[in-house]
Structure 1
Amino acid sequence: MEIILLESFDKLGKIGDVVKVKDGFARNFLLPQKKALRANKTNKEYYEKIKNDLEENNKKLVEDANSISEKLKKVDTIFLRQASETGQLYGSVTPKDISNFLSKKNINVLPSNINLTTPIKNIGIFEIIVKLHADVIVNITINVATSEEKALEQKKEKLEKKKNSSDFSIENLESSDKDIQKKEAKKNNKSNVKITGEKKIKIKDSTKETDKEK
């Protein structure tokens, strides 16, 4: 079915786009939720009338999403859970748990916005994608530990690994630059040798020509 989007959707399209979707998706979700219109002549004309209002509303949604995104970047999302010696949790951390945690920090994020297909069931630090809007996506770090001290240790280890990885990359880059410079220097030396040789040959040739003329 062809529809006109009244909202922006990640991987589907932006407001006003005419896209093809499965009939079931349109009938069961997009159309009843007033997130889209059937793409016919009447609805296309209607869309042009409400276009400015939709775009203004979307602009406000993007601003709100960006505001939430900035707040998320400043929050330490720590979950304390009991776990076995192997690090397996006696329980789990779900999108709903994360949403409730953030709500207590006055940050409203729906569980459906949290891209976590399976619950977290182990101790550790996890990078999670949060889709606040089709145009606003942010990564958050979930720190799952058995105590505040362990959570702090995990965070320090993560930062240390990141730092070492960054230093390693810089060293590789510098080493690569030096190798390139050496190769360029060798090329230049070879070029100079060839040019010098050519000059000598020309001099000899010109001498021979002079001898012949004599």
Structure 2
Amino acid sequence: MKLILTQEVTGLGEPGDVVEVKDGYGRNYLVPRGLAIRWTRGGQREVDSIKKARSAREIATLEQAREVADRLRALKVVLRTRAGNGGRLFGSVTAADIVGAVKEAGGPDLDRRRVEIRNPIKTVGAHQVAVRLHPEVGTTVEVNVVAA
């Protein structure tokens, strides 16, 4: 099955890429979740618009990505959220919460889709969060979750 990716899919491609995947993976996972659309002859216009939008908000060079990574490593990010007794959170911390906390701490604007939370953050304390800035540059940000 030929698809056009609308969002980045780890191990598959970037938005705007035309990929060939197995029918079940495309039909049951990628298309229903909005990660891809079916490829058509007129789809090339959509590919061009997706790539144009991506280039406008993407970190352009490897050097720029390394500078942003250095800035992120130096940040002290504190995220205030509601917590119950024993330090358990009501819900969990999302990528959008982390992006907001980074911006509030004086960091750069990040795309929430670039933030990878490998294990759900459901307790107060210090947590490591991975951020992919460029295909060759990734970094970790220490997020200190405190009860509000």
TM-score (norm 1): 0.43
CA distance in 1, matches of 2:91, 2:13: 38
Output the amino acid matched with 1:60.
A
Q: Does 1:94 align with 2:94?
A: yes
Distance 1:64 1:120, change over 3 A: same
Distance 1:92 1:23, change over 3 A: closer
Q: Does 1:76 align with 2:76?
A: yes
Q: CA deviation at 1:140?
A: 1.4
Matched position secondary structure for 2:126:
strand
CA distance in 1, matches of 2:90, 2:4: 47
Output the amino acid matched with 2:137.
V
> Greater helix share, 1 or 2?
1
> Greater strand share, 1 or 2?
2
CA distance in 1, matches of 2:100, 2:92: 14
RMSD between superposed Cα atoms in Å: 4.3
Q: CA deviation at 1:117?
A: 6.1
Residues 103-158 of structure 1 deviation map (CA, whole Å, 9 limit, x = unaligned): 231411122221126752211221111122332221111112348xxxxxxxxxxx
Q: Percentage identity across aligned positions?
A: 25
Q: Is the contact made by 2:59 and 2:65 (CA closer than 8 Å) also made in structure 1?
A: no
Residues 152-196 of structure 1 deviation map (CA, whole Å, 9 limit, x = unaligned): xxxxxxxxxxxxxxxxxxxxxxxxxxxxxxxxxxxxxxxxxxxxx
Q: Is the contact made by 1:9 and 1:134 (CA closer than 8 Å) also made in structure 2?
A: no
CA distance in 2, matches of 1:59, 1:84: 39
Count of residues in Structure 1 that have an aligned counterpart in Structure 2 = 131
- Using CA pairs under 8 Å that are at least 6 residues apart, name the structure with larger relative contact order, 1 or 2: 2
Distance 1:9 1:64, change over 3 A: farther
Q: Is the contact made by 1:78 and 1:143 (CA closer than 8 Å) also made in structure 2?
A: yes
Aligned to 1:129: 130
Q: CA deviation at 1:64?
A: 3.6
Output the amino acid matched with 1:103.
K
Q: List alignment gaps of at least 5 residues for structure 1.
A: 44-53, 148-214
Matched position secondary structure for 1:137:
strand
Q: CA deviation at 1:83?
A: 3.4
Output the amino acid matched with 1:99.
V
The list of structure 1 runs, each at least 4 consecutive aligned residues, that deviate by more than 6 angstroms after superposition, is none
Q: Is the contact made by 1:95 and 1:119 (CA closer than 8 Å) also made in structure 2?
A: no
Output the amino acid matched with 2:145.
V
CA distance in 2, matches of 1:19, 1:130: 24
Residues 32-76 of structure 1 deviation map (CA, whole Å, 9 limit, x = unaligned): 8xxxx88x9xx9xxxxxxxxxx9xx68825444333212111101
CA distance in 1, matches of 2:90, 2:18: 48
Q: List alignment gaps of at least 5 residues for structure 2.
A: 45-51
TM-score (norm 2): 0.58
Q: Is the contact made by 1:96 and 1:111 (CA closer than 8 Å) also made in structure 2?
A: yes
Output the amino acid matched with 1:135.
E
Aligned to 2:11: 11
